[in-house]
Each structure stands twice: as C-alpha cells, then as structure tokens.
Structure 1
C-alpha cells in the first residue's frame, strides 16, 4: 500500500517511519538500534533571575557494536532536503560520541562519512550496510586486535541504583580500556570536577577485573574523605573484594586475598620516609594502579606517589585529574603522557551536566593600596612599617579589621537577599583569617546562629571541631553548617554538592588551585534546588579566567564602573600547590577601624558563559534590579521618593555606591536617550520607558510655558532642551546658568531676577521637573 501523503509533504518523523527505519532494521537487529537517544542534558542558561535549560542534544539513530560501544549515528531530514543535508550534523555528533561512522538520509538514500578512511559516499535506500558488514569494516580499518575485542565485549556494571555512563564517561572508559588492551602502561584522564571521575574509574576497574585483563588494583588518594567517599559510593558494588590499607594493622601474609585496595599515599610512605608499601607487597603484586587527583601535592608529597609508582612499575598506571598541568613541579603530563581523553569544565557546562556560575567582583577602597599615616601604630602600639599595602598583603602581612568586617557584611547582604541557608564556602588567606571571618559572620548573622550555633563553622586543618563538621557540611541532607570558613582544606576533593556560594578572600596564584576551588560549586542538584552557583571575589583573582590554560577566553566588560582594582601580585608562596599558608611577618600589625576604615566602592556582576564570555551585561541588569527593589520595594515607593528628592542626582549616586553605573547600563541596553528615572522603572519594575525627547514634547503639548513670558520663558525652554539632550541632573545645577545659551541672557543673579530672585528660579525649575514627570507623580 502506498503512503497516504506525498513524500515532499511528509514530516521528518514520517520519513523516518516510512523509509529510514525499515531500511536500517532490514539490515540490523533491532536490539542494536536506539532512536532519539539523548546525548546531553541541555545547557542551563542564566538570564537574570530566570534559569532555564536549552533542549538536550538527541541522535535520531545510534547503531551499536556492543552494549558499551555505539559505532554509527544516522541523522534524518525530511524530503525537502538533500540526502547529505544532515551529514555535517551527524558528523558533529559522531565526533562528540567518538564514533567511526556518520550517516544522513532524507528517505531517498543515505550519505556516509567514514572517519577511519576520511571518505564519503552516497548509496540507495536498500543498500545500507548490514550489521556484519559495518562491524567487519570497523575491525579492518581500525586494526582491532583480539585483546581489544575482548575488552570491547566486557559490559559495564549496571543495576537499578547505577546510572549508565554518560557519553563522555563512556568515551573515557572505552579509550582507557582500549589503550590498556593495546599495551599502554601509563595513561592520563582529564575530567572536570563534578563530571564523575570516581564513577569512571570504578567502571574501568570493573570491566578490567571481569574481563580478566587485571587482577589486583591499587587506588591511591591523598585524603581519607576521598577514599571513604569512593568505597561507600561509586565502588560499593565491589565492596566484598575491597580492602582499605592500614599499615599499622595489616598482615603481609593475609593482605593478598583482596582485589581492589584503597590507600592514602601518605600511609604507604610514612612521615618517617619509611616505604611501608615494600613491607606489605611484592613489586609485581599490583597490575593496575589509579592515582586520584594526580595533580596535587607539594614536591615532597609528589615524590611519595612517584616512589610508589616506581616500585610497582610493572603495573599499568592511570592518573586522574581535573587540572592536567602544574607550573613549578614536574607536570603529570611528563609522567603519564598526553591525556587519552579530556572532558573540560567548559564542555560540562555546555552539555548541561555542570552548573554554570555568576561572578560578583567586589572592590574595596583599599584594594589598590593603603598606606599608614606617618608614625601610625597598630592596636598593640607598634609602629606599622611604612609602605603601600594591597590585596596581596591583607591577612598575610597585615590585618585590617574593618576590611574583614566589610567582606563579612557583603557576604551577609548577599545571603539575606537570596537564601540564608545556601551552602557557602569562604576561602580565607590563613587559618587565623578564617577564624576572624567566622567571628565576623557569626556576629552579623546572630539571628541564624541563635537557631543553630553551627550556622557558621571554621573548617581548617588545625581545627578539630571544624573537621568533625566537614561530613555534615558536604551532606546534601544536613542543613548545618551553612557557612564554612576555610583556608586550604576545602579547596580540593571534598564533594560539596550543594555549594551555592563560593567566596574568594585569598590570593590564588595557581591555575590548578583556582580550577579546583571553582570545582567545589560545579555539581548540579536540580532536584534539591541547585541549578547554578555564585563566586564572590574580593581579591580580583577571577582574572585567572584570562589564563590560556582555562577552558575558554574571557571577554571583560570594558570600563564598567571606575573603582576596579589592578591585578594584584600573589604573595610569596601563593603560586605553590596547596598545602600551607605563606610564611607570615612576625608579628603581623593589626589595624582597627579607627586606624583604617574600609568601604566597598564597586561591584561587577557577571556570568561565566561556556562560549568563552565571562562577563555578560544582562547579569548586571539583574543585580541592578535586585538592588533597586531592595532599596525602594515598589514602583509607587520609588516614584514617591524620586518626586520628593530635591536633587535627583543623589539617587544615581546611591546606586553607584552599590556598583551600579546607570550610564554604562543604558549604553549596553541601547537606551542612552532614556531618562534615568525611566530606565530604573523599566529595569526594576518592568515599566515601558519614555525617551527624554518624548517627555520634553509632552511638556510642550501641555502648554506649561504659557504662564511665563519674556526671558523667564526663554530660560525654561532652554532648560527643557538641556534636559532632552543631557538629562535631569544638569538642569538641577544652578551652575548651568554660567553656560550657553544662558550666558548671553546675563549673569545667574540677573537671570534669577526674571523669576523674582533665586527662590523663584528654583521653584520654577521644580515645577518644570514636575511637568516632566507629571504622568508619574503621585
């Protein structure tokens, strides 16, 4: 029976049903075909306060070599397109999914791109390659060995509680196993924080063990919490074969009965430099070693895991990291080689698997520099060394008490305006600074601390109480602690899924550490209300986004505001890998509020965009709206205050103090011909704006000038023209009478005389303003 519709009138879905699907299923078993397969989750977009997901990417058809391995993608189009019209889209998906073959069809035939040979061809609808043909071509063209085939055939671990690998995890697993099957001994996997490195490692280990390619596995990490998280969560299906190494208790004669061993490398090489690993294991005992977070560690710590790896040199060794390069020490690239696969933060945000983020850059009036008065003394009575102190010094070499207070106040303001229970990490310069910040935040949030004393907790290496609270802080279900102040402890590794605010109040000189800190917030928890996070930067360290090693360039917002700080130079040691505070001056001067009063002078709000833009003006509009509504609450209230304000400029200045530059905002929005009054009403209260010209014309239509005559009328008409060209603030100033066109009418006193004196002139200007805003005045 022929179709009821002509081919050209059919939708893409009709073409698939009537032509493409029958052509493919006649050559392939249905069990090896999936349709409308979702590849990504769809990027989360931040448009002001509105958060929404874009459509996820879906493949029309995927054909599979085995459960682990898609081999080809087919992109369908309706019959109004050519056969090859969808081929480039199919190729894009094939590259993304690491597939050797891409096909497209419009129902008349197929176009093919073979990535293994680089060739393309077209063929008839009934000539689609059979399953056996395409698999044979793949094996021949890729030079697949028997060992690789065995590795391919071993399925992933699946259960009701284990999600199937995402596309990038599948690629990471497959490429790693394939490289091992080909005999590669050292491998590096680079995956952004929050993209499931440990889950990926588990699937690699599971498949290698089940296929018999590996028998004994050592998983190395540098923190107990990372080991415990891995054993309890991702590696739980292997719990019966797992052993956590305990050097003090383990017996060399019985320890050999397990399959997967977890250890801290600090345990295997003790602080006494004793090589405990050689006491417990023979050099050839392990045939697979995974080093988690292999970017980390000081020179001493790095030498520890290097010694372990060199002892077990016959084992295949996999390094896993979110940040593949170091600066001062030998890079992990040098040891492990180029990554077999990289999945970046940028890709994770673009695909919708990671949370996007806003950046609020906060500048204080001492960020560029503060110099003590001659002979000025600190609170102990000691003279403060006379030099210029900058962001690189505060809390490291000198303590400015009011600066800490202002930072804490800004954090509190933000949380009060958004969510007081948003999990927050405040990264401070030192452990001492983290304690000072904790105290300041406690006092500014006493109402919340009264409800639960753990609302703010310091969690640092030396704080035993805080360390006990770490598991509660990173828990999704535990409400408290809400705010954690820290120095280095939370910068890497700890899986803080619900972190919504990251505050940077320390100098960061290492790109590695910076990306790890950002990684504390990138995990998505939509079901728990976390769709994005915010970075609040008090030290101008987000300039590190400009580093070429970052996942995309940035586009700075030129000239936003006037109080921006210059990039500061990190203190000595700030560029080193995490592991300790820079050596302090002894003793550090402490300056109280009487010695140095600090103000926040400027803020920019921005959005990190996976396309490579860091600052987007729309987020500043959002910030503006939030601030205006916080100040005036309602449109009626704002109009009332605007009307009552003798000098309208004071409202503009109030907003500027909060980092909002209306002129720059208007320029960006293409609204330079709009009055500040209209712009504020538009941005904050969604009111349709009038241009200054429209307002001036309305005044003329109402015949406002009829009650004035002669020079007085001429002056007011000139003032209205000035308003139309430059805005309301200029006509409020009596100095305007010293400029053209008023100058030719006489001196200011003479002009005021036409209105019966200065008070009469000011009253006339006020009436003109009322006429300008007549429609709005309440």
Structure 2
C-alpha cells in the first residue's frame, strides 16, 4: 500500500492535479482553460560554431474569454513556496501576453494582480473568480463599449492550412481591432521583418469583414511582388472577394463590386502625377486602408502615398512597418501616431521566432584607401585621377577588378566550407557591379554552374532574365538559383525564407535600408535546415549596429574596432542619415586590372550579436577555440597528458562541443578533415604542426609496433589502425566496432577478445595502440 504524501511533500504537478485544477474547473468551462501552454519557441543560441535552442516559455494555466481572447494567466508552485511566490513570474507572462489578470498559487489559495486597477489581493482556494465574474470585471474596469464587446466575440480565420496566431500576432490583431472599434482613425503597427505582418493584416481584414464593421478595404504596397505574395499566400482564403486594381483595364462602373482591393500606389498615382484613384473611386468608397511597408514614403508630405491617404481621409488607415522611423526629420509617427503595438527584431530572436545571426567583417588592404601610382593608367589607357580611393568609391567611381575577384573568392571559400547550396544574396553597389560579381562567382563555382547554369543569377531591376528567376530564388522548394547578385531589388519586401548568407558589398544609404537588408535573413526554416544566418560585410557597414535606434542600446568592445574608421564623407551622422557615396557621372569609370592593383584580404573578425543588438564578442572562431582550450588545459604538455590519460577521448570532444566548439565544422572550414582532433587542437591552441591520421598510422607501422602480436590478434590491430586512419580515434575506442566489417569475418566480439586473453587483454591492446599513435616522436 502506497504512502499518502503530505501537502509539503507533493510536487508542483501533484499540487496542480489535486488542488489548483479542481479549484479552477469548478468555476470555469474546461474548454476555456489550457495548461502548459507554449508561448515562445525558445531562443536559438549561437555558441561558437554550435547552434542550439533554449527551452520555450510555457504558462501553467491560461484562461480565455473566447478563442481569440485570453484573460488571465496562473503560475503554480509546490507547497514549499508561499501563495504569492509565483506572482511576479505570472505578471511577466501576463504583460508579455497582454492580459489584464495574473495569479499564482501553491495549493493553499490564490494571489491576484489586477493590471487594470493596479491592486493585489490573496484569496482562498474556493474564492477563485468565476468565468462570468472575471469577464464582467474586465469589461467594467476597461470601460468597454458595445462596439468593442461585439468585435471581441469575432473569431479569427482558421483552417487546416492556417496556423493560429502567435501570441504577439494575437496582440497586434486584437489591439488594432479594438482601436478601430473605439473609433481610432490612424493606426501604426510595427513588426520586425519575418514576424508575419501580412498574416496579421489578413486576420484584421477577415475580422472586419465578418463583423460588418468594414465592408470595402484597400491594401496598398509599392511592389508587385508584395501584392502578389499577399494575394497568393496569406490572403488566399479571401480570393473570391479580392480584386487587384489595374487602372488601364478597370471599369469604374463594375470595379465597385469587390470587398478587398490590392493596389500599387504607383497604379493609383501615375508617373505624370495623374490621380487615377479619383477616376475610379469616390472619396468615401473605402472604409479601411492598409499601407504595407509605410516607412517607404507615406510620411513625406509630397509622396504619392499621402495623396491617396488624404483623398480617402474618411477611411480608417493602418500603417504597417518593420522600421518605425526613417530619420529624425521624416517620421511616419507624425501621420499614423504612436504604434498601437510594436514587436521588434530583438523580441523575435529572444522568443525564438526569428533567426539569430553572426557577422563576418572582412577587410581588404585597400579598404582604408588606395592611391594610383603617378601617371597610372586604366585598362583603356586613360590616366586615373590622382586621389585616395576608399570603400565609398569602389564600383561607384572606380572599378578594381581584383577587389571584385577577392570578394567573390571569399564568398566561395565560405560556401565551400559550409554549404554550397545555401541561398545567398550579394548586395552590390550598382547593377553593373552585380553583373561583374555574377561573372566572378560563376568562374569560381564552375563545377556548380555546370550542374545548373542558374547557380548564380543577377536579379536586378533592369535584368529581365534575373527578374523571371526571382520567384524561384525565394521559393523554399526550388534549390536554384543559389546565389543572387543584386543592387537594390532584394533589399526589401521579397520574402526570401531560406537566405542563409547576406553579403554586403555596397554602401548602405540609411538605417532603414540596413535593417531591411538584415531582415532578408531573419526568417526561420528549421525543417529545411535554416536555424540562423550570416552577414558577410566587405564595406564595414555593420558598424551601423552601433546605433541607439537599432533595437536598444549597443555596447561595442572597443578592443575590436579597426583603428582607421572608414567614413562615408563629411558631416555623416550615423544615427540619422548615412550619405550615399558621391558618384561621378559623364566620364566612364576607370577600370583597373590585377596588374594595376592587386588586392588582399588582410583581416577577418566574427561578431555574434545578442538580442539587444549588443556585441557579445568579436573574434575569429579559431581565437575563441584557442582561448577555451588554453583556459581548460593551460599548456601543451598538460593537454597531451590529459589526452593520454582520458579513457574515452570523445569526452574531450564533447566538452568542447558544450562550449560551442564543433571541431568537425572547424576542420572542414580549414580544409583539415584528414587531421586527427588531437593534432587539430594542438595546432589551433599551441601552434604545433599537425599530422594527418594517415601520417600517424604510418608512423605506428614504421616503428613496427604490430610485430609484438601475431595471427588473428595482429589482423585485428591492423584493421583498427586502418579504421583510425579513415574515421578517427573515437571509433576504435568503442567495443561495438567489433560487430562491424572487417571484424565480423574474424568471429564474434567474445571470440576476438579471446585472441588477446579476454576482454581486459583486448582493451589493454587498444590502449597500447592509442599510445603508439600518439607517442611523442609522432607529434
């Protein structure tokens, strides 16, 4: 018979089962309670070259008014804690989930925090508020109107193919819908790229149409791809009521029969400033207008967006953006007012919904400046203007062929060391530079281009072939193109879900553009193998992270800033406007071949940013590894001694893996896969010349170690030495290896051990073999 536990002996799960859950379900419909609800996906961490996910955040209990609207969160603790011990944790979750009530319990009673009144109280276990009581309190304390009450009951769109909104999307939808119900006319939603702005807009539109609150809706964007993506993907359930405006074909008498209209603002206001919108629609036609990516102009008084918005001024207008400010001089906040909700890149990475990233900063020996020799001529025989050229000039005012070659070579090296099929966007200075980069990458990756000529494609505004390939590039299902060279076309909007490498080889014109470019990589696709992305910077533009508006205050380790800063020209204010490089027009740009200017990569650093945009560290992975190995072993002698003494060498590999050091990946990156981990560690941390496994195996044979054994025993050790040469030391330490070929041919494991006098004799022989492999003469 089992012993009955006292309340103090019970686990948290026991307390929930026997006390907290019964107290709640006696007052609430069980269908309006969820337990162990996952709120976030768990942050993805980049530790050295090792990637892992933290545990997701889960709420013990969430109570709901209806499917759309959670109202309270409850945090449970065991009875060793006080009733209110978990209240602050519950309050953190409630604030995150935008809930009015937070509770904690240890099974003796409940502690309550009411966010609407700011008051707290402790109540008995049987005094937990009923469903109707808590909902009524919420309505009264929040001053809810009948219009708000009606819309709050309106469900989201759901189907087998539509995922339920994430917590932040739910908040964005609910706050927007609620603000519209309260009569607010101008609203701003700020959501980082990759967090589902269009999906959020769809759910808002669906709720508005279903409730009858809005009947005619206009969705405005400035790129065809944004409109088409939205119609085909997130807005697909509304396809029967959608119309894409085409001013050349639309008849003003029949166009009014639809409910949701999509348009490019360029369609509604022509290049000649002709106001086509007034020809097709009356000023009061639309009830709701959604402006996608509204940072790209709607705030400027003279913009075409503003003309449209002012004409339809009676409509409710929602601005959606990933970047709330263009500059301190031009702000969409002045038009749409403060955001009803913001969800930043920082929060997206922290919650595990967006991909984290590392930055590889690559410096060339001409980055700080190159000056032509006296009277030096370009490849056309024209004299080159005598001045100092910097990163702001290359490809804009002068073309250094070897610089393009070295950038392409570095990109190719990186892809060869990691994944040659990783979707890559190379941002170039001009369309011409994008073509030169495409050619250089084609020639350096001829083996891949032979398999598929679309391995590298230029995708720019004037390149019709490339533009036709854009849909394939952004498709998760289509492997080609792999590398897209571009100028501006892919910097915003294009939904490149599988982008793993972003290469910056252009000067960035504004903080907004910089954030938009980074946004090309933030989408996560774990099932397809994308957990993070890399930014490779050849123009030192990633120092723009050092901007207070990035996503919070930035801390940069001063030791790692290059001594000579590369500037963008006089009067440049990095926190506000970054000036575009001055480009000379008229004369053809001088082109300098390799004989005229040979370029070298002189420095590379790897930076890992945390969720605040703060620089965690800036280092080469090799330096990070070296630091950790020396920190653990102090000296080469000590490492050799510990390696020799370690029964299972794999423990050392696992210890390093825990610190974010993946030896296999590092060896691949440095073309050293045939080197033993022992040698690789000695090489990286202690500058020892490495030997390959083959060289070590041959050294064992030269010293005639195997002559001590004869017959089958010798055959076994020879086979083990061959296995070591091909796969490494870890395999031969495992007794399971005897169940594989060629050992199987020699008999079962017990029989093989018998040739060494039993299992302990076999283990001793393996130890002696290892000792022979790592004897000092072979190091």
Q: Establish whether TM, by shorter chain, passes 0.5.
A: yes
After superposition, the Cα gap between the structure-2 partners of 1:82 and 1:88, relative to the gap in structure 1 and judged at 3 Å, is same
2:213 match: 213
2:510 match: 510
The answer to whether structure 1 residue 113 and structure 2 residue 113 are counterparts is yes
1:568 deviation in Å? 2.4
Matches within 5 A, 1:218-257: 218-257=218-257
8 Å contact from structure 1 (residues 607, 619) kept in 2: no
Instruction: Tell me the TM-score normalised to structure 2 length.
Output: 0.80
Matches within 5 A, 1:400-439: 400-439=400-439
1:344 match: 344
Distance in 2 between residues matched to 1:486 and 1:573, nearest whole Å: 25
1:573 deviation in Å? 11
Matches within 5 A, 1:650-669: none
1:45 deviation in Å? 1.1
2:535 match: 535
1:76 match: 76
1:74 deviation in Å? 0.2
Distance in 1 between residues matched to 2:510 and 2:597, nearest whole Å: 30
Distance in 1 between residues matched to 2:594 and 2:562, nearest whole Å: 21
2:600 match: 599
Unmatched 5+ residue regions in structure 2?
626-662, 694-773
Distance in 1 between residues matched to 2:671 and 2:159, nearest whole Å: 53
After superposition, the Cα gap between the structure-2 partners of 1:293 and 1:370, relative to the gap in structure 1 and judged at 3 Å, is same
1:470 match: 470
Distance in 1 between residues matched to 2:446 and 2:386, nearest whole Å: 37
8 Å contact from structure 1 (residues 359, 607) kept in 2: yes
Instruction: Tell me the TM-score normalised to structure 1 length.
Output: 0.80
Unmatched 5+ residue regions in structure 1?
643-650, 652-661, 663-673, 685-772
Q: Secondary structure at the match of 1:454?
A: helix
After superposition, the Cα gap between the structure-2 partners of 1:592 and 1:467, relative to the gap in structure 1 and judged at 3 Å, is same
1:496-532 per-residue CA deviation (whole Å, 9 max, x = no partner) reads 0010100000011311000100110111111111111
After superposition, the Cα gap between the structure-2 partners of 1:4 and 1:224, relative to the gap in structure 1 and judged at 3 Å, is same
Matches within 5 A, 1:735-774: none
1:571 deviation in Å? 9.5
1:699-724 per-residue CA deviation (whole Å, 9 max, x = no partner) reads xxxxxxxxxxxxxxxxxxxxxxxxxx
After superposition, the Cα gap between the structure-2 partners of 1:171 and 1:545, relative to the gap in structure 1 and judged at 3 Å, is same
1:346 deviation in Å? 0.5
1:676 deviation in Å? 4.0
1:182 match: 182
8 Å contact from structure 2 (residues 355, 521) kept in 1: yes
Matches within 5 A, 1:291-330: 291-297=291-297, 303-327=303-327, 330=330
1:261-286 per-residue CA deviation (whole Å, 9 max, x = no partner) reads 00000000001111000000000000
The alignment's C-alpha RMSD in Å is 2.8
Distance in 2 between residues matched to 1:21 and 1:641, nearest whole Å: 54
Q: Secondary structure at the match of 1:551?
A: coil
8 Å contact from structure 2 (residues 568, 581) kept in 1: no
Distance in 2 between residues matched to 1:641 and 1:65, nearest whole Å: 59
1:619 deviation in Å? 6.7
2:387 match: 387
After superposition, the Cα gap between the structure-2 partners of 1:77 and 1:638, relative to the gap in structure 1 and judged at 3 Å, is closer
Distance in 2 between residues matched to 1:371 and 1:128, nearest whole Å: 78
Q: Secondary structure at the match of 1:616?
A: strand
8 Å contact from structure 1 (residues 508, 574) kept in 2: no
1:88 match: 88
1:151 deviation in Å? 1.3
After superposition, the Cα gap between the structure-2 partners of 1:307 and 1:298, relative to the gap in structure 1 and judged at 3 Å, is closer
2:673 match: 633
After superposition, the Cα gap between the structure-2 partners of 1:300 and 1:351, relative to the gap in structure 1 and judged at 3 Å, is closer
1:6 match: 6
8 Å contact from structure 2 (residues 474, 497) kept in 1: yes
1:542 deviation in Å? 0.6
1:281 match: 281
Distance in 2 between residues matched to 1:52 and 1:304, nearest whole Å: 46
1:95-150 per-residue CA deviation (whole Å, 9 max, x = no partner) reads 00000110000001110111111111111111111111111111111111111111
Question: Which deviates more, 109-118 or 378-387?
Answer: 378-387
Distance in 1 between residues matched to 2:677 and 2:191, nearest whole Å: 51
Q: Secondary structure at the match of 1:137?
A: helix
Distance in 2 between residues matched to 1:15 and 1:302, nearest whole Å: 64
Distance in 2 between residues matched to 1:334 and 1:259, nearest whole Å: 29
2:611 match: 610
1:587 match: 588
Distance in 2 between residues matched to 1:639 and 1:292, nearest whole Å: 55
After superposition, the Cα gap between the structure-2 partners of 1:570 and 1:328, relative to the gap in structure 1 and judged at 3 Å, is farther
Distance in 2 between residues matched to 1:210 and 1:376, nearest whole Å: 72
Distance in 2 between residues matched to 1:776 and 1:202, nearest whole Å: 70
1:363 deviation in Å? 0.5
8 Å contact from structure 1 (residues 501, 536) kept in 2: yes
Distance in 1 between residues matched to 2:614 and 2:680, nearest whole Å: 39
1:574 deviation in Å? 12
Q: Secondary structure at the match of 1:41?
A: coil
2:163 match: 163
Distance in 2 between residues matched to 1:175 and 1:309, nearest whole Å: 22
1:375 deviation in Å? 1.7
Q: Secondary structure at the match of 1:133?
A: helix
After superposition, the Cα gap between the structure-2 partners of 1:295 and 1:578, relative to the gap in structure 1 and judged at 3 Å, is farther
After superposition, the Cα gap between the structure-2 partners of 1:502 and 1:205, relative to the gap in structure 1 and judged at 3 Å, is same
1:650-684 per-residue CA deviation (whole Å, 9 max, x = no partner) reads x8xxxxxxxxxx8xxxxxxxxxxx74449x99xx9
Matches within 5 A, 1:363-378: 363-378=363-378
The answer to whether structure 1 residue 568 and structure 2 residue 558 are counterparts is no
8 Å contact from structure 2 (residues 473, 480) kept in 1: yes
After superposition, the Cα gap between the structure-2 partners of 1:301 and 1:116, relative to the gap in structure 1 and judged at 3 Å, is closer
Q: Secondary structure at the match of 2:187?
A: strand
2:20 match: 20
2:707 match: none
8 Å contact from structure 1 (residues 297, 577) kept in 2: no
8 Å contact from structure 1 (residues 502, 534) kept in 2: yes
Distance in 2 between residues matched to 1:545 and 1:640, nearest whole Å: 34
Distance in 1 between residues matched to 2:474 and 2:677, nearest whole Å: 42
Distance in 2 between residues matched to 1:637 and 1:114, nearest whole Å: 58
Q: Secondary structure at the match of 2:295?
A: coil
2:500 match: 500
After superposition, the Cα gap between the structure-2 partners of 1:301 and 1:634, relative to the gap in structure 1 and judged at 3 Å, is farther
Q: Secondary structure at the match of 1:549?
A: coil
Q: Secondary structure at the match of 1:508?
A: coil
Q: Secondary structure at the match of 1:584?
A: coil
Q: Secondary structure at the match of 2:296?
A: coil
1:609 deviation in Å? 1.4
Distance in 2 between residues matched to 1:558 and 1:621, nearest whole Å: 20
Distance in 2 between residues matched to 1:620 and 1:677, nearest whole Å: 18
Distance in 2 between residues matched to 1:298 and 1:306, nearest whole Å: 5
